[in-house]
Structure 1
Amino acid sequence: MKQKTIREVALDVLLQIEKNQAYSNLLLNQTVKKANLDPRDVGLLTEIVYGTVQRRDTLDYYLEPFIKRGKKKLDDWVRVLLRLSIYQMVYLDRVPDRAIVHEAVTIAKQRGHQGISGMVNGVLRNVRRQELRSFDEVKDDLTRLAIETSHPLWLVKRLVKQYGYDEAKQICMTNLEPPQVTVRVNRTKATIEEAIELLKEEGIDAIRGHLSNDALIIQKGNVTHTNAFQDGVITIQDESSMLVARALSPKEGMNVLDCCAAPGGKSTHLAEQMNDQGRVVALDLHDHKVNLINQLSKRLELKSVEGRAMDARLASQSFEKATFDAILVDAPCSGLGVIRRKPDIKWTKSVKDIEGIQKIQKEILTAVVPLLKTGGRFVYSTCTIDRTENEEMVQWFLENNKDFELDVSLNERLPQHISEKAVFGEGSLTILPHHFNTDGFFITALIKR
């Protein structure tokens, strides 16, 4: 059987994302494993898939004048084929336009009939010949921003309402950029300097992170293939996510609860902060996700992490009151801070989803509060930048838990230069994607009186 070309594989992946609302990152990983691709082709496949999903509405805006019958009348596969072809023509420069058109027409002939391949050929040749339409044609500011940055209009309106137009525009523009690869150095095994040297010996260029004391930014090379990674000296984690363990700041010998822990990045970071002396109980709802926590702990050679399959909302049935010295709730959320890594989030989420997840956030917070000792620290964090899931949730929590107060010492536990860009509130921190080129994140710390 003839092996599929990169663009045929990309078309299959994009159709599954569109039809089944499959997660692009998971689907792409599975596809790469199954397709047995040349490593040099994996980068191009990833770029075509992520880029086409990321810029979907902009691509449709460019396509619209060239499709006489309207894009809604096209078969799904034809519409997606045109999108991925135009994405390459507009945003990639390593493949000549004529080669892109030729391959699109070949795919159209194989999948459809002569008429469809002719139409694909005509549309793409016209796109090559003519200037793309200007965004200035769109007179409404918010609609123009939505099309130009390829975000749904409801999300643009929400960001503008919460952050103002200029900040919202920066968020949306940054969401289109590829995320940088960052790793956390396991301080129980190596210093930052030692980790940089180990990676250098294996041909990996790494520099210190901008945001976290434990972070390295990978500038060149695939770290997952290194001995440093296999031996547990480093693990992949975004810099803003690394601040959560610093915010909780557990000490050696403590009993700590991480309520929504998979895949284990923060649980293992907490264990490293404690020099692996103490106990981190890491809960997650599903067995297969708890396996991920256990696998990570094993690779990092951390003995203090104890993964358990449990719904955090039922934790009081398994633990006595005032069992834990510190508790982390890195809550399930809309994920609007990680759109760069998971571009399909912006097309699959809705206002209704945000409202639905708030209910779960409240249930988890209510359930685990009694498990914290008096004087203990409680950290609530999310990878969303939506204020109803963040500041409003904290306000709700304080109104319903009078024995808690905001921990105003939070900023003392985090690198001082963060305050130059990120937004410190009383006992809280908001990092937007453009502040440090990281995921968007929210962290708040509270003390039980």
Structure 2
Amino acid sequence: MNSLTKDNNNNPRYLAVKTLERISDGAYSNLQINNVIDSTKMSEKDTRLFTNIVYGVIQHRLTFEYYVSKLVKHPGKLQNWVKELLYTAIYQMIYLDKVPNRAIFDESIKIAKFRGHDGIRRLVTGVLHKIDRDGLPQITGMNAIEKQSIEASVPVWIIKQLNNQVGKAKTESILKSINQPANQSIRINIKKIEKKALVKELERIGFTVRDSEVAADALVLKDGVAAHTALFKEGFYTIQDESAMLPVQSMDIDGDDYILDTCAAPGGKTTQIAEHLTTGLVVALDLHENKLHKIMENAERMGVSENVEVHACDARKVGDIYEDNVFDKILVDAPCSGLGLIRRKPEIRYEKSLEDVEELAVVQGGILDSVATKVKVGGQIVYSTCTILNQENSKNVKDFLEKHPEFEEIKVKTDLNLQADRREDYLKIFPDDYGSDGFFIAGFKKVR
């Protein structure tokens, strides 16, 4: 472990506080974490500690804010970095059993001394010793949903929506699951390598590997970083959540299909489609032109660029580019609130509001309306989101079918036959179902 000096570029606890400051100011957690890892020389052990602390504090932020509000006389006057420092110490004390309190205290007090004046050092020292002596404050003095919100660190509005839509028992199960570590899953590039050969290579370089129970051509990895291998760089696999593989697996692609992927960046589903094509083509759209190079970069790495074409376009305006009745299949993996990704991107829960959900549902409906005329008769539209609220999911399905009688809903089928006995044609996956991201998938066939 690195001691604290004037050069703290490799100290995991110091870097965690700095990173959390940036994230609390609006930066994306995954990008900040990757930037820090890439720009420092932390050991693998310190990198794991750094990542664990950052994600852990974000996941439990509402809980830690409550604790600090009860432990400090004037919490509103604390500088942001001091709050983040206290949160990191509390997280380690609660969740990192193998780290002794004396090490947590020592490093936290050194950071307080290094970054602040002696009064801050005394405050941090006093708070940590109070926790050690008396324990953490009890969460009391509020109604049941407010208490649940603080304990799970999920805003009240999300809990109310879930209670209304899936019931209290399912909501509680979801809340218990979302602060667990996310699985590291990969999708095998079926054009380049067979599963057996890839598993052998991954195990040879130190990974623990198991089959996915959610998606075909998927593996779940432990004991290594999937993005840092030569196998990844050479395109033998790509990194993708298990649930995110299902929309394309439900599409029943033919090798010569002409397919539109309407909201494609960074290209995970585009390349997945392209792997199933021979003479066919997938057209990948994104609203932002600067994201198109990432799609092509991924397509080239995966060896499928000949089957991929990219265009900058608002998916609600595809009529400006394409004639009617030209595509065999269309994927609308719509921009959404992302609430199914809370485990992987924990800050999402604090950034979104019910108003955002309702506004996004309108955008999603607009995209579906726009592409409805572009698919051939007999062709298929697959609609998917990585969120778990009905407003962006089943309500959009109902609205689309009412507006477009030329379509029929078809049952979403997956390679591993998930939830085969469900009553609905669409497929809903919640974060607690399989430990993967929350996802929604619906299918429509144009019948006239």
Q: What is the TM-score of this pair, normalised by structure 2?
A: 0.94
Alignment of 1:14-163 (within 5 A): 14-19=20-25, 21-69=26-74, 71-135=75-139, 137=140, 140-163=143-166
Distance in 2, matches of 1:381 and 1:187, equals 23
Alignment of 1:174-253 (within 5 A): 174-253=177-256
1:443 aligned to which of 437, 441, 445: 441
1:256, CA displacement in angstroms? Answer: 0.4
1:98, CA displacement in angstroms? Answer: 1.6
Q: Deviations over 1:289-333 (max 9, x none)?
A: 111111111111012121222221221111111110000000000
Corresponding residue number in structure 1 for 2:345? 342
1:139, CA displacement in angstroms? Answer: 5.5
Q: 1:249, 1:273 within 8 Å by CA — same for their partners in 2?
A: no
Corresponding residue number in structure 2 for 1:281? 283
Q: 1:182, 1:216 within 8 Å by CA — same for their partners in 2?
A: yes
Is residue 429 of structure 2 the alignment partner of residue 434 of structure 1? no
Q: 1:427, 1:446 within 8 Å by CA — same for their partners in 2?
A: no
Q: 2:8, 2:14 within 8 Å by CA — same for their partners in 1?
A: no
Q: Secondary structure at the match of 2:340?
A: coil
Q: 1:245, 1:266 within 8 Å by CA — same for their partners in 2?
A: yes
Alignment of 1:300-339 (within 5 A): 300-302=302-304, 303-339=306-342
Gaps of 5+ in 2: 1-5
Q: 1:113 to 1:220 in 2, by over 3 A?
A: closer
1:417, CA displacement in angstroms? Answer: 4.6
Q: 1:394 to 1:425 in 2, by over 3 A?
A: farther
Q: Deviations over 1:330-376 (max 9, x none)?
A: 00000000011111101111112112212211221121111110110
Amino acid paired to 2:49? L
1:155, CA displacement in angstroms? Answer: 1.1
Distance in 1, matches of 2:418 and 2:354, equals 34
Amino acid paired to 1:224? A
Q: Secondary structure at the match of 1:171?
A: helix
Amino acid paired to 2:68? L
Corresponding residue number in structure 2 for 1:256? 259
Distance in 2, matches of 1:337 and 1:415, equals 21
Distance in 2, matches of 1:128 and 1:289, equals 49
Amino acid paired to 2:192? K
Moved more, 235-244 or 215-224: 215-224
Q: Deviations over 1:125-168 (max 9, x none)?
A: 11011222344x35622122111111111111111111111111
Q: 1:88 to 1:432 in 2, by over 3 A?
A: same
Q: Secondary structure at the match of 1:438?
A: coil
Equivalent pairs, count: 440
1:201, CA displacement in angstroms? Answer: 2.6
Corresponding residue number in structure 1 for 2:3? none
Amino acid paired to 1:145? Q
Q: 2:211, 2:218 within 8 Å by CA — same for their partners in 1?
A: yes
Corresponding residue number in structure 2 for 1:13? 19
Distance in 2, matches of 1:288 and 1:39, equals 33
1:32, CA displacement in angstroms? Answer: 2.0
Q: 2:60, 2:152 within 8 Å by CA — same for their partners in 1?
A: yes
Alignment of 1:289-438 (within 5 A): 289-302=291-304, 303-408=306-411, 410-411=412-413, 413-419=414-420, 424-438=422-436
Q: What is the TM-score of this pair, normalised by structure 1?
A: 0.94
Distance in 2, matches of 1:310 and 1:120, equals 51
Q: 2:8, 2:15 within 8 Å by CA — same for their partners in 1?
A: no
Q: Secondary structure at the match of 2:373?
A: helix
Q: Secondary structure at the match of 2:164?
A: helix
Cα RMSD of the aligned pairs, angstroms, is: 1.6
Q: 1:211, 1:415 within 8 Å by CA — same for their partners in 2?
A: yes
Gaps of 5+ in 1: none
Q: 1:17 to 1:222 in 2, by over 3 A?
A: closer
Q: 1:152 to 1:375 in 2, by over 3 A?
A: same
Q: 1:406, 1:426 within 8 Å by CA — same for their partners in 2?
A: no
Moved more, 430-439 or 149-158: 149-158
Distance in 2, matches of 1:222 and 1:26, equals 15
Moved more, 286-295 or 380-389: 286-295
Distance in 2, matches of 1:198 and 1:377, equals 37
Q: 2:256, 2:281 within 8 Å by CA — same for their partners in 1?
A: yes
Q: Deviations over 1:198-249 (max 9, x none)?
A: 2223222211111111111112222223332222121111111111111112
Distance in 2, matches of 1:123 and 1:195, equals 50
Distance in 2, matches of 1:425 and 1:294, equals 39
Q: Secondary structure at the match of 1:416?
A: coil
Q: 1:245, 1:273 within 8 Å by CA — same for their partners in 2?
A: no
Distance in 1, matches of 2:315 and 2:60, equals 37
Distance in 2, matches of 1:307 and 1:45, equals 37
Moved more, 389-398 or 307-316: 307-316
Q: 1:384 to 1:417 in 2, by over 3 A?
A: closer
Amino acid paired to 1:290? L
Distance in 2, matches of 1:290 and 1:398, equals 31
Distance in 2, matches of 1:284 and 1:300, equals 19
